[in-house]
Amino acid sequence: MFNSLFSNGLPPGSYEKFMETGNLSFLYQPDWFDLTILIIYFGVLSLLSLYGLRRYYYLHLFRKYKHVRIKPQAHFDELPMVTVQLPMYNEMYVGPRLLNAVCQMEYPKDRLHIQVLDDSTDETTEIMSGAVKYWVDRGYMVEYVHRTNRHGYKAGALENGLKTAKGDIVAIFDADFIPHSDFLQRTVHHFTNPEVGIVQTRWAHLNQDYSLLTRCQSILLDGHFMMESLPRSRGGLFVNFNGTAGLWRRQAIEAAGGWHHETITEDLDLSLRAQLKGWKFVYLPEIECPAELPVEMNAFKNQQNRWAKGSTQVCLKLFTTLMKAGLPRPVKTELFFHLTANFTYPLMVLLSLILLPAIIIRFHQGLAEMLLLDLPIFVASTLSVALFYIHSQKALYPDWKERVRLLPMVMALGIGLTVTNGKAVMEALLGIRSSFVRTPKYHVMNRTDNWFRKKYRGKLGIYPVLEIALGVYFCWITLYCLTIGNLGVFPFLLLFIVGYFYTGFSSLFHNLLKFPFVDLGWRRLRAMFN
């Protein structure tokens, strides 16, 4: 058969080469379609690898500075007046808890001014009014500020609150946080340095053991605070304020131009403008501020969507200004990667869509060529992610070895978010405006707490269906790879399958839990395994 095949004008010696190698890949000649797919495929992988390589730089800085602790320049002889701003919108479940924690801080009453900045349209207004009255009657300086519109959303509420703020130092806490009683005593003295404009502390997690979703979220956030914020701050790079669990010098806010409304990540926007003006950023990872993690998939996706879109909006707004500023090259390089990091989400969606034709074409090139090209890309991207989160867990938890077993699931969850986050980035690039969608919290602390029939859910939309469709698509790709004997890509494909199915089906299921019969059945099922 092969004698007749190779007699029809094929290159001399082809038969001998086939008998030696056992395959016909050396006869493969790519056409224009194949070349286009390969150019896109390797272009996307190369861009993703650049961001993966950046993580090795963070690892270098982390190892260099992980034991460095920043001490206050001095201590105030007389503590300054501090205004604590508590912005909230329809937070009836967690708002009173936050106010109680703030009022129990170890700080003189006459030096502590508290503002409840409530834009609520539900029962929260009545609940928070009563909570404010309770503490006012006990001698606390608590001001209740209720707006009848949400102009500017959170940024607008903070800006409006500054009109009556009594303190030169402003602390900000979102409704789902519970600061420790010594929070102000451990942070405020850093403002004895007149150059310090911002102090940020590390988020901790009240309910990280509630579910698989909350455990994965805790690892993702730990990675950000330990492997991004710490290296950036200690390495003299720009750091982003995280919107809560931190303090501002009022003068720094005003000098940077105040809170702006045109993006939905007002915290990142203002912190970059302040640092551009020369204000110093102090990050204190040793000080924890516990917060409640979203327990519902749609709420979590809405939160990630908001962060991705808002960060892209800030990139479009400030990128040129920052790149033209007289900043050191390392600072500009880091700002480039920081502000453009969310562009990886639409790139991941594109990679998902072209993966099947790319695998077919690459298979014809031969296994050796695939390993030669793909192995360096794997080391640059996937391995860097694993090291990134392993180091963060090792730095924070004695049981880090147990926790890092979830890393494959964390990576799969990141892949599952590419659809909604990719959509968010594209909306920002196209100038599509959207409202500030809050992340609903339900006062869930323990595994036995039930949120299923409480008010508010994250937006569902059509995206869970698209995620499930991508999961099916990757099952098809996996079956094809098994058929042709390409087993090396199986672990990689499994991450895509698990990620897309997990986010898609969880979104649908969590939305169904608002129905009593689904709620009851799920609680009984969980009780069987607890």
Residues catalogued as catalytic:
119, 267
DSSP 273-337: HHHHTT-EEEEEEEEEEEEPPP-SHHHHHHHHHHHHHHHHHHHHHHHHHHHHSS--HHHHHHHHH
CB contact at 8 A, 180 and 286 = no
b/e string for 301-314 if b means 16 or more Cβ within 10 A? Answer: bbbbbbbbbbbbbb
- 112-118, strands of its sheet edge to edge: 141-146, 112-118, 82-88, 169-172, 246-249, 196-205, 280-291
Backbone angles phi, psi at 284, to 5 degrees: -120, 85
CA distance 187 to 499: 39
Which residues lie across from 88 on neighbouring strands? 118
Cα 308 from Cα 306, distance rounded (Å):
6
* Residue 341, token pair as written in the block: 């990091």
State the maximum Cα–Cα separation within the chain, in Å, rounded to a whole number: 100
Helix (H) or strand (E) holding 249: strand 246-249
Question: How far is it, in rounded angstroms, from Cα 225 to Cα 433?
Answer: 29
Query: For residues 197 and 275, what is the distance between their CA atoms, to the nearest angstrom?
Result: 8
Q: 172 has which bridge partners?
A: 85, 246
CB 457 within 8 A of CB 298: yes
Cβ neighbors of 313 (< 8 A, separation 6 or more) are 262, 263, 264, 265, 428
d(CA 408, CA 515): 32
Q: 136 and 142 in contact (C-beta within 8 Å)?
A: yes
Return the CA Rg of the chain: 26
CA 279 to chain CA centroid, Å, is 25
